[in-house]
Amino acid sequence: MAREPIDEAVIAYKTILAGILDNRPSGTRQRLAAALGKHRSFVTQVTSPTYDTPLPARHLATVFRVCHFSPAEQERFLAAYEAAHPGRLPDVGGADKMRTLSVMAPDFGDEKKNRAFDDAVAEFVAKMAALVNGGE
């Protein structure tokens, strides 16, 4: 049975995402699940080209942050995502609506602890922004 064109577009961005995830350190999928507040099976469904489940636009910023997308990777992914879900990107709150805020944080002397702390702070900021903007 032939796939619908939208299915092929979803497969295209999921293939990009799966490739990026495959090149990240072990445990990235689990960190992504924690940052999204979801089970790892959800991450598998929204990132694997073999599943039809689309990646919700509201999760894109978290995916970019946790998976440490380079600007080129983000641009390539967003082009494919826009092709699959036209008009959905403005709902994400693109980089032009973001500002940088530097925070002095303790160095725990452990890469894993530092990353967990950084991810927790970023998640807190994202949730506060959503709350202030009338979102979740």
Give CA torsion, residues 61, 33, 58, 104, to 10 deg. Answer: -40
Q: Are 127 and 136 in contact (CB under 8 A)?
A: yes
Residue 83: CB partners within 8 Å, gap ≥ 6?
9, 12, 13
CA dist 40 and 38 (Å) reads 7
Q: At what angle do helices 28-36 and 40-47 cross, to 10 degrees?
A: 100
Q: How wide is the angle at C-alpha 34 spanned by C-alphas 28 and 35, nearest 5°?
A: 85
- Rounded average pLDDT over 42-56: 93
Q: Are 41 and 10 in contact (CB under 8 A)?
A: no
pTM over 0.75: no
Per-residue pLDDT of 59-109, as tens digits, reads: 898 899 899 888 889 999 999 999 999 887 744 444 445 566 677 889 999
Percent of the chain with pLDDT over 90: 40
CA dist 67 and 83 (Å) reads 21
CA dist 103 and 27 (Å) reads 25
